[in-house]
Amino acid sequence: MTGAEDAGRSRDACPVCGVHALHLLYFPDVGIGGVRPMDELVGMGDLKPDQPPGIGCTACGSEWESLEDFRAAQRAEGGKH
Ligand SMILES: [Zn+2]
């Protein structure tokens, strides 16, 4: 236990794996121009710049396109039990 994990905890738990490791996905702003090494790194060249930030889980790699999608996943998960 180093405390580093605690600092990275999110308030909400991931609906998929239950770990508090959610973070906002900020899409690259193509309007700024210049080099975007991240695109080559992750191969996300088809992202739309006008999309709002999505939500991702660093523990299991799940991603949601928007907060709305994420909340829907939470409700779906809660309804199963
Ligand atoms: Zn997860």
35: CA distance to ligand 1 center in Å?
31
| DSSP string for 18-58 | --S-EEEE----TTS-S--HHHHHHT-TT--TTSPPEEEET
Q: Is the pLDDT of residue 55 over 70?
A: yes
Helix, strand or coil for residue 1? Answer: coil
Q: Is the pLDDT of residue 53 over 60?
A: yes
| Residue 66 pLDDT class (50, 70, 90 cuts) | confident
Closest CA to 23 of 61, 69, 75: 61
Which residues are within 5 Å of ligand 1 (an ion), measured at CB? 14, 16-17, 57, 59-60, 62
pLDDT of residue 75: 93
* pLDDT, tens digit (0-9, with 9 covering 90-100), for 2-48: 444 556 677 889 999 999 999 888 655 555 445 555 555 555 555 55
pTM for this model (two decimals): 0.56
Helix, strand or coil for residue 59? Answer: coil
